[in-house]
Amino acid sequence: MPMTSHIDELLARARLRREPYTAADIDAAATRLAARAAVRWDAPEEPRCPTPDTRNARGSADADPAGTDPADADPVGENALGKNPCERGAAHETPADEHCSGSGQAREGAVDESSAADDLQTLCETVITHTGALADLRIFLARALPEPSGARVLGCMLQLSEREESARFWWQYAAGAGDPAASYCLYLHHRALGEHGAADWWHTQHAQTDAEAGPEVEITTTLRILRALKPDDSPVPEPVNAVLHYVPAAVAYVDDDLDLPLPDPDFTDRVRALTALTATAPASSTPAAPVVGGSAEATRRTRKRKPLPERRRPRRTATGSTQSPAPRKADST
């Protein structure tokens, strides 16, 4: 394609003259910040909003089930990412006043970016651990066309593995086939990225596809209650964990011309093998084999990826060895 190289040429000539940023610049800035912080924190005339200090992002939602003002839960979220019209243009001045006076005007029904991200995490964890998830995934590629419910589960797994772009693709697939949970995932996904236009659009789609669902407040409240109920290290069933480790390595952009995050050819077989663990040995073996046994391409990608346990909620250590058991053996010899 000649156009590709055309863009590449343009981009190559787009480099800006970069004025260096020196250590001295950073030091000066740090001094400035310390000074500003000291002045503003100590100044008695600076009113703080009553709530943010005493409520953290996760606790507050539970105390506020009506979801009257979810944005309130997070001081930075509202100051910096805020929806308050009165805050417009005031970012370089003290934001506290506008913050207080305008907090009631947050976009109605809006979930702010950070709570959307939290909600999405909870929703994905719920989707992949619900009892039918693996069955959905197994059916996923067994048919001529992938099933929407399986695509939704795959999307959630990719999201939890920090493969947002690929997750979005599969949610879009599922949502296009009328899967309401997938459109809700997309709504939260775009909201979390601050892409409000797209978020609103998917929210509308969700409302249309899932007519009997309650108002959004109920969904967000449910997610928050779920989060509160779930201990941070709530166990993930071993087969789910196994698939969770396999999926990000197995789904990849095939090449530059076909821009779809497609699973490896043997994906179905491997998922079937992994989920068969449910019946045989629920928690005994770690899911190392499939990754190692995968194509060379998959193995290479796996090494480059950061290990999954960096997710907010630490998993049990047994699964940490998935990454590359072979090198570990090499180390010990």
Partner 1 sequence: MSQELPRTATGARPMRKLPLDFEAFHRMYRPIYVHWAEIRLGSRADAEEAVDAAFEKLLRAWSTVLTKENPTAYAWRVLRHTTIDFSRARDRRPALIGEAAFETVALSQAVDPIGQFEESLSLYEAIGQLPPRQMDVMLLQFGQGFTVEEVAAALGITPAGVRSTVRHARRRLEHAYGVKRRLEATRPESAAQGKREDDGECDDFVRSGSEEGHADDIAH
Considering only residues 1 through 60, tell me which ones interact with partner 1, judged by CB under 8 A.
Answer: 1, 3-4, 6-8, 10-19, 21, 25-26, 29-42, 52, 56-57
Query: In the bound complex, what is the minimum distance in angstroms from residue 333's beta carbon to partner 1?
Result: 31
Query: In the bound complex, what is the minimum distance in angstroms from residue 150's beta carbon to partner 1?
Result: 22
Among 131, 312, 329, 332, binds partner 1 (CB under 8 A): 312
Strand partners, 252: 262
Q: Round to the nearest angstrom and report the end-to-end CA distance of the chain.
A: 50
Q: Is 75 in the site for partner 1 (CB under 8 A)?
A: yes
Strand partners, 253: 261
Instruction: Tell me how far the alpha carbon of residue 80 is from its chain's centroid.
Output: 20
Q: How far is CA 68 from CA 64, 200, 260, in A?
A: 7, 19, 40
CA distance 227 to 221: 10
- CB-wise, 21 or 331, nearer to partner 1? 21
Concatenate the DSSP letters of all residues of 122-146 into one string. HHHHHHHHSTTHHHHHHHHTTSSS-
> Taking phi first (over 0 means left), then psi (-120 to 50 degrees means alpha), and beta for anything else, what does residue 67 get?
left
Tallying the residues shown for the chain, one arrives at 333
Query: In the bound complex, what is the minimum distance in angstroms from residue 18's beta carbon to partner 1?
Result: 6
Among 194, 215, 282, 327, binds partner 1 (CB under 8 A): 194
Tokens 């969700």, residue located = 206
Among 72, 113, 147, 179, binds partner 1 (CB under 8 A): 113
Tokens 């959307």, residue located = 116
- CB-wise, 31 or 68, nearer to partner 1? 31
- CB-wise, 124 or 141, nearer to partner 1? 124
Query: In the bound complex, what is the minimum distance in angstroms from residue 201's beta carbon to partner 1?
Result: 8
Query: In the bound complex, what is the minimum distance in angstroms from residue 187's beta carbon to partner 1?
Result: 14
DSSP-derived secondary structure letter, 261: E
Q: Is 121 in the site for partner 1 (CB under 8 A)?
A: yes
Site for partner 1 in 259-288 (CB under 8 A): 259
Query: In the bound complex, what is the minimum distance in angstroms from residue 298's beta carbon to partner 1?
Result: 13
Query: In the bound complex, what is the minimum distance in angstroms from residue 233's beta carbon to partner 1?
Result: 15
**φ, ψ dihedrals at 13, nearest 5°:** -90, 10
CA distance 39 to 22: 26
Site for partner 1 in 152-191 (CB under 8 A): 162-166
Among 49, 135, 193, 288, binds partner 1 (CB under 8 A): 193
> Taking phi first (over 0 means left), then psi (-120 to 50 degrees means alpha), and beta for anything else, what does residue 171 get?
alpha
> Which stretch in 62-70, 89-97, 132-140, 317-325 sits in contact with partner 1 by CB under 8 A?
89-97
Among 91, 145, 276, 283, binds partner 1 (CB under 8 A): 91
DSSP-derived secondary structure letter, 251: E
Query: In the bound complex, what is the minimum distance in angstroms from residue 218's beta carbon to partner 1?
Result: 24
- CB-wise, 166 or 322, nearer to partner 1? 166
CB neighbours of residue 318 within 10 Å = 14
Q: Is 230 in the site for partner 1 (CB under 8 A)?
A: no
